[in-house]
Amino acid sequence: EAQVTQNPRYLITVTGKKLTVTCSQNMNHEYMSWYRQDPGLGLRQIYYSMNVEVTDKGDVPEGYKVSRKEKRNFPLILESPSPNQTSLYFCASSSGTSTGELFFGEGSRLTVL
């Protein structure tokens, strides 16, 4: 089954404790992206990657890091999480780099205390 898998789905952590949210897709997609969803703000793009070893900033990259060492994986790293990073995070992938036809994961709800 074609899917985008995120882990963990839920996480409560404390300020400053490094964490990684993993994302894996099994569709051999070149394009992957991370979004955060906050009430009233819709989905805002954090980082995206158009292929292995190619990443770029989205609209809200501050406080996040990403890497793309393999085509299927695109982890999101919070080096020193802060409470304003409490949010619902989505990973998505696409076979086209500009069409925007994304397949989304089920989301990871992160709470930073």
Q: Which region among 10-18, 20-28, 68-76, 97-105 touches other proteins (by CB under 8 A)?
A: 97-105
58 versus 63: smaller Cβ distance to other proteins: 58
Total interface residues for other proteins by CB under 8 A: 28
- What is the rounded CA–CA span in Å between residue 101 and residue 92? 9
Nearer of residues 31 and 64 to other proteins, judged by Cβ: 31
DSSP structural state of residue 6: E
Q: Which one among 24, 25, 48, 75 touches other proteins, defined by CB under 8 A?
A: 48
Q: Is 70 left (phi over 0), alpha (psi -120 to 50) or beta?
A: beta
Q: How far is the CB of 60 from other proteins (least distance, A)?
A: 8
Q: How crowded is residue 61: how many other Cβ atoms within 10 Å of its Cβ?
A: 16
Tell me how far the alpha carbon of residue 37 is from its chain's centroid.
11
CB of 50 to other proteins, least distance (A): 5
Residue 105 contacts residue 20 (beta carbons within 8 Å): no
Residues at the interface with other proteins (CB under 8 A): 4, 31, 33, 35, 40-45, 48, 50, 56, 58-59, 90, 92, 97-107
